[in-house]
Structure 1
Amino acid sequence: MVLSLPPPPHPGPVAVAFSGGLDSTVLLHRLAADPAIRAQGLRALHVDHGLHPESAKWSEHCRLACAMRGVPFASRRVQVQEAGQGLEAAARDARHAAFAQWLQPGELVALAHHRDDQVETVLLRLLRGSGDGVEGMRDLRPFGQGWLWRPLLAVPRSELLDYARQRGLAWIEDPSNDSPRHDRNFLRHRVLPVLAERWPQAGAAIARSAQLLATRSDLLADEDQVRLAQVQGLDPACLSVPALMALSPPWRDRVLRAWVTNLDLPPLPGHALATLATDLLAADDSAQPEYHWSGAVMRRWRDLLHAGPPLPPLPEDWSASWDGRAPLGLPTGESLSLMPGLPFDAPCRVQARQGGERIRLPGRAHRTELRDLLQTLGIPPWQRRRLPLLFAPDGELLAAGDVALSATLVAWLDENQARLRLTAAFA
């Protein structure tokens, strides 16, 4: 049989994500047989997740398979950390992170997802009930410095199996693919065969529906971005609650999903939108409700919604001496620096907030309660807990991060043509 593939959607080199399984083996064989793709540049990337005792042997199998076809090969071992999202999702995240590090500008990473994978993906997303992504996987999407490309997405797995057998290809059988413990395997081995008994064309019909939904989703996505811009301020991680409440509930839900996607956060669970409407959007202005999901958090403070990863506060007992010569790394992953790196006249002390601190601002004779100042500046409570406080040797509070500077520090910075900077954006 002849396996037809669409041409690469963009000129440039192609990197095959090569696991050594049936699907990627067929994809590698087919791309390696195309002189035009060879001329643009073809290589194979293998990720060893370390989840099976034979994974090192699988890496060697992939290396030899590429050597036989004269395809450059690269392999990398990754650490898979579940972090609550499930083993399959954690392995995918680790794999994609490796691809992003490998990727060259303009390069296409060719993934071997086929039509059966698409059907499973659509069903899983429908069962999740969130409404996100029910159009399934896209055959092309931006990724890092290049693109993710799925040239086999319209091909059923049965055709890949016929292709491999006719050409005597050898591939790896991962025993975990047979375990019904994983949701995708349960659908593959228990659910889809039953559907096919009653509706033999179920797979093709679901895949076709996914294509139609993708077209509709693209049209709606443009309008989502228009409406999102109307409720978003200068900080993309913040939305206006009054502006959101002015939208109809269906559009409000779509805007929230689009916002979460734009921030590269995990998709909201199916029940999330109803919870957000009652617990965050309808909350009293004085409340500070939060909603956590899959390593992300959405918070309401005053008239704004904030979303991002749940970054930790500074430990209450943390402190450090700092002379200003080099950036000071903080336990939060941020750093405090003087630009340029001029030293202070004497080392200062940097520590977490303890409460009750006061600061003398430029143009004022009295000192201001730091808590009141940060509230006036509109710094949300969880961000305040991350602010490092800079103290002079005599104990005077010089700065809270780089958002509140004392009269003493401002005068010193002006005299030395320097500025204080806290790196990394708040979340």
Structure 2
Amino acid sequence: MGSATATHGALSAPSPRAQALLAQVQAFMAAEVLPVEARFRQQLREAAPGHAPPLLAELKAKARALGLWNLFLPGSHGAGLTNLEYAPLAEAMGRVEWASEVFNCSAPDTGNMEVLSLYGTPEQQARWLQPLLDGEIRSAFSMTEPAVASSDATNIQCSITRDGDHYVIHGRKWYSSGAMNAACQLLIVMGKTAPDHPDRHRQQSMILVPRDTPGVTIVRDMQAFGYDHAPGGHPEIVFDNVRVPAANLLLGEGRGFEVAQGRLGPGRIHHCMRLIGCAQRALELMCQRANSRIAFGKPLGEMGSVREDIARSHCEITQARLLTLAAADKMDREGNKAARDLIAAAKIVVPQMAATVIDRAIQIHGAAGVSQDTFLAEAYVYARFIRIGDGPDQVHLAALGKQLLKEFA
């Protein structure tokens, strides 16, 4: 048996179609997205709470008209790209934090669409998946709770209780990403249907909750390092006697962990792909700053420590990119479950790498690096947040270590 983290053979070359799509996405980012970053931020400040800038709708219409839409989703519902083919596209989108939504490829909708495509009934897909694929609505994922350590999802206390033809939901969630968006119409909620089941991983279920259901109350929007990530946000939500039809349950009672693993694997690797784009852009800005900024009579780039930071950053980005591509390739060849070792490794390595590289870029930019005049401060927050989001580093380290110990026992 080979190493759990070994890859088998060289990575397959992308198809001509995937190469063409990458060129289109890169061209779109250069011509349509990067030039309007400042205008996007200004419109966001002027927009009503929860409402996206008008500019976003214009860009989405342009991208969809070019066929640059739902590129993340394999199979008949999406563009039919493999994970390996999608990775460079996601990296290109990741150069601007909000850009993935332009192509209908943004979290948490990507994960929710994957869940519905994999586990949804035809009725659930017709009601929720198709509008999400069309970009007509947005959605949220409601799993984490403030009162318990949700990195161990067996701790979750939100209750989902059967009552005739309905389920009744009681609980409090927070960091329910996407739920502040005025276009959000669906919450995918994880809770306990069988709290006394002897198998702690069969206690949980996931259920579809329309956001306008009576008893769903948004308490407040949570911030990350002072950023609210409008218009989607990360709100705290109370579910008080929330009644939804029994047909809204996903896959069946006690199968919440199964759904979660199907959702989180691709979601984690997508974050890694986007963060590599963030880090690469930070490196490029670092080089531009080092060439143009004069300090103590010479360009910063002539200082040894600056050159070392730039070289280390390039090495670390390249390593992280290759690890992420290897994970995507293994997902394609052997399935998401078999690739959990490399997915975990990428989730450990990439956010830390991105935060480190972006931090170096901030340092070279000085005061400008922490200001609103560059993308660096917000990019750093994203990278640091993802060291917690979709499972903290420690959970992935523990799971990967356990897997390796078992394999080589």
The structure whose RCO (Cα within 8 Å, separation 6+) is larger is: 2
Return the TM-score normalized by structure 1: 0.21
Return the TM-score normalized by structure 2: 0.22
Question: When you count helix as a share of all residues, which structure comes out higher?
Answer: 2
Question: When you count strand as a share of all residues, which structure comes out higher?
Answer: 1
Q: Which is greater in Rg?
A: 1
